Amino acid sequence: MLFNSYTFIVFFMVMLVLHNLPFSWKVKKVNLLLASYIFYAAWNPPFILLLWLSTVIDFFVGRALYTEENKHRKKLLLVVSLIGNLGMLCFFKYGGFFLDNFVTLVNSIGINYHPAKPNIILPAGISFYTFTTLCYTIDMYKRKSEPVRSLLNFSLFVTFFPHLVAGPIVRPPQLVPQFETPRKASQKQLLQGLFLLTLGLFMKVVLADSMLSGAADTVFTAKGQLPALDAWMGVLAFSGQIFFDFAGYSSCAIGVASCLGFVLPENFLYPYAAIGFSDFWRRWHITLSAWLRDYLYIPLGGNRKGKLRTYVNLMITMLLGGLWHGASWTFVAWGALHGTYLCVEKFIQDFRKKRSLVPAPSLATETIVLQGVAAPRFLKKIWPHNFTLALLTFFLINVTWVFFRSPDFSSAGHLLSSLFGAVHNGVGVLSTLAVIKVSIITVALVLTHWYMRERRVLNVANHAPWWLVGIAWGLMLVALIMSQETGSSFIYFQF
């Protein structure tokens, strides 16, 4: 079921009515759980079995991990959870990828091996709910928090429909306590939730699908060489499309949860105003970058084992982060580029510190590297023109999107050569209207991100005149009603 569908509108209205009827809190939680299964079953009902299996295994394994004193049994239990979760993820998401690469490898050494290709259907959102359950069992292993006592609460934590398919990736302390006491949205929460839902749908339906997807698809599916203008317009269109699509989903998820009285963590903080790449990852897909930091980068050693190991850990983290997004070497290349950017940024940072040009940042380097809190302060002291640096960051981020969107390296290579002027006689594929449209939206996007860089949309709305908020809200609703794009899937559903 899609947020941007008429089916969801009916579903959501029914859920709001049920959630506000005078039922007991347990009955309301059961209603939410059943609704979450219905929401997920709209794609493929049999895959609910995977959700049940992951939920039940991690609930009981997590409880045992927390109470087990024997170190060997404790490790064995953790291995059971890892195999159960990562095994399903690897089979459904990476089975065909691993098989194709194995076949290529054995054929390259002279072994003629051509097995039948497996027909594996990727369950929607498997990467998201796998990471959600994994963080629980790992936290139980490390005894970072108390185990969830109720299977109902844990099941709802895993399957709560606003975040189930494409995040935000939540952790037990962020959501489970909210299920322990009755929740009902206040008037303010309801209005804010409906506003965020409208904003998210406007970003997805109007901006991502109606305004930008056409230009992006045209350029990235073009067979021949392209003029630089068309190539850049296509890349910028996808840059805007993927932001509006994914941030739109996150806004919808947070808004829907707010309408029911729950709070989900923020997932985007105007990433195209980032000053540097660590700052970008503090603002883009925040819950994933925090997960990778806490459950991969720091366990690998973080910055605690020397400079060389820090760079290696950074690169491993971003390579696996790229692979998490999709079973393709182009996603690995996308992660490698981001890893390279972060390593270069870290090298410059260390060099400046060594030369004593700036004082050492006060926050932990793990935070600087993957969350970027201190990096902007550092950069502000050595580069007075922060907006220029933000534009440079945006430019380099756009280069990485070429690998993220391209189906293969050949297509990515052709587009890169078009971007940087290696093509002088390419045939244009975009109309003048499409170029103007992408240009206006891109400029507006960057300027809006810069203006909102240290702000939050709800705070701005709360302090704005009521009539101005009403006009903006009304215009978004009119644009949604007039839009013909109402059923396309969100980009991150494939991950």
Whose tokens are 């850049």? That residue is 232
Judge contact between 58 and 85, C-beta under 8 A: yes
* Cβ-Cβ contacts under 8 Å for 312 (sequence gap 6 or more): none
Give 259: exposed, middle or buried? Use CB within 10 Å, 0-12, 13-18, 19+.
buried
Judge contact between 49 and 25, C-beta under 8 A: no
* Cβ-Cβ contacts under 8 Å for 345 (sequence gap 6 or more): 276, 277, 278, 375
Closest CA to 145 of 71, 57, 63, 88: 63
* Cβ-Cβ contacts under 8 Å for 46 (sequence gap 6 or more): none
Interaxial angle between packed helices 228-259 and 386-405, expressed in degrees from 0 to 180 and rounded to the nearest 10: 90
Taken in order 208, 211, 217, 222, the sign of the CA dihedral is negative
For residues 204 and 479, give the distance between their C-alpha atoms in angstroms, rounded to a whole number.
Answer: 12
CA-to-CA dists, residue 288 to 110, 138, 395, 454, 490, angstroms: 41, 16, 23, 21, 17
Closest CA to 406 of 420, 396, 397, 416: 416
Give φ, ψ of 355 to 5 degrees. -80, 0
Q: Could you confirm whether 463 is annotated as catalytic?
A: no
Tokens of 219: 């350029």
For residues 321 and 299, give the distance between their C-alpha atoms in angstroms, rounded to a whole number.
Answer: 15
Judge contact between 39 and 204, C-beta under 8 A: no
Tokens of 90: 């690897």
Q: CA 437: distance to chain centroid?
A: 26
Exposure b/e, 309-345, CB count within 10 A at least 16 = b: ebbbbbbebbbbbbbbbbbbbbbbbbbbbbbbbbbeb
Amino acid at 359: P
H-assigned helices in 115-186: 126-142, 151-159, 161-164, 172-180
Tokens of 316: 């491993």
Catalytic-labelled residue, pool 19, 325, 338, 449: 325
Give 433: exposed, middle or buried? Use CB within 10 Å, 0-12, 13-18, 19+.
exposed
List active site positions: 325
